[in-house]
Amino acid sequence: MGDSHTVGYGNISTKRDCTQDEVWATTDSSQAVPALTARHYGADYQVNAISGRGIVRNYDGMAADTVPVAYPFKLFDKATRYADPAWRPRLFVIALGTNDFTTPLHPGEPWKTRDALHADYEQHYVNFVKRLRAQIRTRM
């Protein structure tokens, strides 16, 4: 689970500067790190990732649901929760934090300092991991 690095954001592009449409056309999750790692070990995998999203703060302070808020749902409309009782992962890999910390804080954001952002991030990260572990335990 993660952000644009996990999704494979623009990973098959042959050039560095792309339009938004070109980025989407050259994003291939099947060639991103999670899929490549799973293939290497002969494992099944599932990618739950959203470009630009973080644990408590999205890229550049973008207003949108963070990963822990969006994660339980199939789509951004939050109409249907994701549920696959047969999916029983033995390992979760979480690659989040880039979007929370890459850009400077802006006036109006809830954190007055980077230290406050770090503290909030740590608390929400731990809570998110606990929630994921609890979901797995209920499936076993």
Report the C-alpha gap between 102 and 39 in whole angstroms. Answer: 30
Residue 36 near residue 101, CB atoms below 8 Å: no
Q: What is the DSSP letter of 16?
A: S
Tell me, yes or no, if 29 is annotated catalytic: no
Identify the three-state secondary structure at position 67: helix
Q: Give the C-alpha separation, 138 to 95, whole Å.
A: 24
Active-site residue numbers?
A: 4
